[in-house]
């Protein structure tokens, strides 16, 4: 699923369904069902309304994500939140110590003005002429870094040092992220919100659509209860 100018979200694996959520709750009474009924939908709503979130942790999705570095570093906070035990590491990122794939950089369609409070966020698109100016400057900056990176490697410099020439924040990186349904819904609460940075909102919207498709009853219950 394409995101931004060059990014994507790819689902690699899925664990569980709405039925898993129901049976994770019903095991308390040594019961299980093979299909969902209206009462099961009511049960999911009850569980989420009363914050019985452990049943959501029996479901998970594994993703491969390609996004600018600054998006990945915001996302990393949710990896920490998704880790239940020290041994559970659901984040693996490609490393330019080992790979020399062609660098790609995020070039925004438009640039945004600084927020009035100057602390974080933005306050709308800037004049198209200013956006064009800084797109050109960012493209030049990226191309200069790529030139120096390639030159260093041609001269035999170690990849782990040559990569320092690549402008970091706009550069696309690739990683795999596995998160429970509970962690995913928390991610969507924060990153689909209008206060989140626009770029990560675009990824959250794609992931939100997939979570809704795969876990429709749980997703609707979560959104309905304003968790």
Beta strands in the chain (DSSP E): 2-3, 7-15, 60-68, 91-93, 112-114, 122-125, 172-180
152 burial level (CB within 10 Å; 0-12, 13-18, 19+): middle
How far apart are the C-alpha atoms of 89 and 85, rounded to whole Å? 8
Active-site annotation holder among 26, 49, 174, 191: 191
Using DSSP's 3-state secondary structure scheme, residue 177 falls into: strand
Is 191 assigned a catalytic role? Answer: yes
The interaxial angle of helices 216-224 and 38-49, nearest 10 deg, is 40
Other Cβ atoms less than 10 A from the Cβ of 139: the count is 13
Contact 12, 211 (CB under 8 A): no
How far apart are the C-alpha atoms of 184 and 80, rounded to whole Å? 12
How far apart are the C-alpha atoms of 217 and 14, rounded to whole Å? 16
How far apart are the C-alpha atoms of 177 and 148, rounded to whole Å? 31
**Nearest-CA neighbor of 197 among 83, 101, 103, 77?**
77
How far apart are the C-alpha atoms of 194 and 105, rounded to whole Å? 25
Q: Which residue has the tokens 């690549």?
A: 166
**Catalytic positions:** 191
């Amino acid at each position: 699923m394409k995101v931004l100018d060059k990014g994507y979200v790819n689902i690699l694996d899925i664990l569980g369904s709405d039925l898993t959520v129901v049976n994770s709750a019903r095991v308390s009474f040594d019961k299980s069902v093979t299909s969902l009924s209206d009462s099961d939908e009511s049960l999911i709503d009850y569980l989420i309304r009363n914050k019985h979130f452990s049943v959501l942790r029996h479901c998970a999705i594994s993703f491969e994500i390609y996004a600018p570095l600054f998006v990945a570093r915001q996302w990393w906070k949710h990896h920490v939140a998704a880790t239940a035990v020290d041994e559970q590491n659901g984040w693996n990122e490609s490393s330019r110590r080992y790979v020399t794939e062609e660098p790609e950089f995020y070039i925004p369609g438009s640039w945004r003005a600084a927020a009035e409070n100057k602390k974080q966020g933005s306050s709308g698109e800037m004049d198209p002429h200013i956006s064009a100016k800084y797109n050109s400057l960012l493209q030049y900056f990226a191309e200069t870094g790529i030139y120096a990176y390639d030159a260093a490697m041609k001269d035999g410099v170690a990849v782990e040092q040559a990569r320092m020439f690549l402008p970091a924040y706009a550069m696309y990186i690739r990683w795999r992220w596995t998160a429970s349904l509970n962690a995913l819904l928390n991610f969507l609460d924060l990153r689909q919100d209008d206060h989140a940075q626009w770029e990560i909102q675009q990824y959250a919207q794609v992931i939100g659509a997939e979570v809704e498709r795969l876990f429709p009853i749980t997703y609707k219950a979560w959104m309905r209860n304003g968790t």
